[in-house]
């Protein structure tokens, strides 16, 4: 008795429902990430300064020979003295948050590898620097 394998051709119209479902899943997971972590604009000054100090240390640890280390160190100097936080670190913070949301939205490992842009903040130690929102659960 012979067994036959049926080969079907997938056209773009048959993939649209899957694409929509995947986009919905990604959007829901991205929103869940934003519910758990504060955005840069939601951080108070001490939280921002702590993030900056830890970010500079972590960046130096991850990329020890990078010339960027000196620039980051110079930007972070005298934050306490001037009671300020350089806005460029807000861009870095939000990029890490977006990267985490992007990872949470991925459903297929192959898609994750194919769509990943080169980003220096992919390493998991950067994601640990994000500030969690307080929960009301006792």
**Residue-level pLDDT at 83:** 92
Q: Which domain holds residue 74?
A: 15-127
Give domain status of residue 31, yes or no. yes
> What burial letters (b/e) apply to 91-109, b meaning 16+ CB within 10 Å?
ebbeebbebbbbbbbbeee
Check if the beta carbon of residue 133 is closer than 8 Å to that of residue 37.
Answer: yes
pTM for the model stands at: 0.70
Domain count, the chain: 1
Nearest C-alpha neighbor of 100 from the set 42, 29, 44, 50: 29
Query: What string of pLDDT tens digits covers the 138 residues of the chain?
Result: 556 555 555 555 555 555 554 554 445 555 566 688 999 999 999 999 999 999 999 999 999 999 999 999 999 999 989 999 999 999 999 999 988 888 777 544 445 454 555 678 888 999 999 999 987 655
Give domain status of residue 60, yes or no. yes
Assigned token pair, 43: 């951080």
Give domain status of residue 110, yes or no. yes
Residue 35, CA atoms < 13 Å, CB-side half-sphere:
9
**Residue-level pLDDT at 103:** 78
């Amino acid at each position: 008795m012979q067994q036959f394998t049926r080969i079907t051709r997938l056209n773009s119209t048959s993939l649209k429902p899957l694409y929509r479902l995947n986009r919905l899943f990604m959007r829901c997971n991205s929103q869940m990430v934003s519910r758990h972590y504060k955005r840069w604009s939601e951080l108070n000054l001490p939280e921002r300064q702590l993030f900056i100090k830890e970010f500079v240390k972590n960046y130096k640890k991850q990329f020890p020979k990078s010339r960027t280390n000196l620039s980051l160190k110079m930007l972070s100097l005298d934050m306490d003295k001037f009671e300020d936080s350089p806005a460029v670190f807000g861009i870095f913070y939000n990029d890490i948050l977006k990267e985490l949301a992007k990872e949470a939205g991925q459903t297929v490992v192959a898609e994750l590898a194919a769509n990943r842009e080169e980003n220096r903040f992919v390493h998991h130690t950067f994601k640990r620097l994000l500030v969690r929102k307080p929960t009301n659960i006792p």
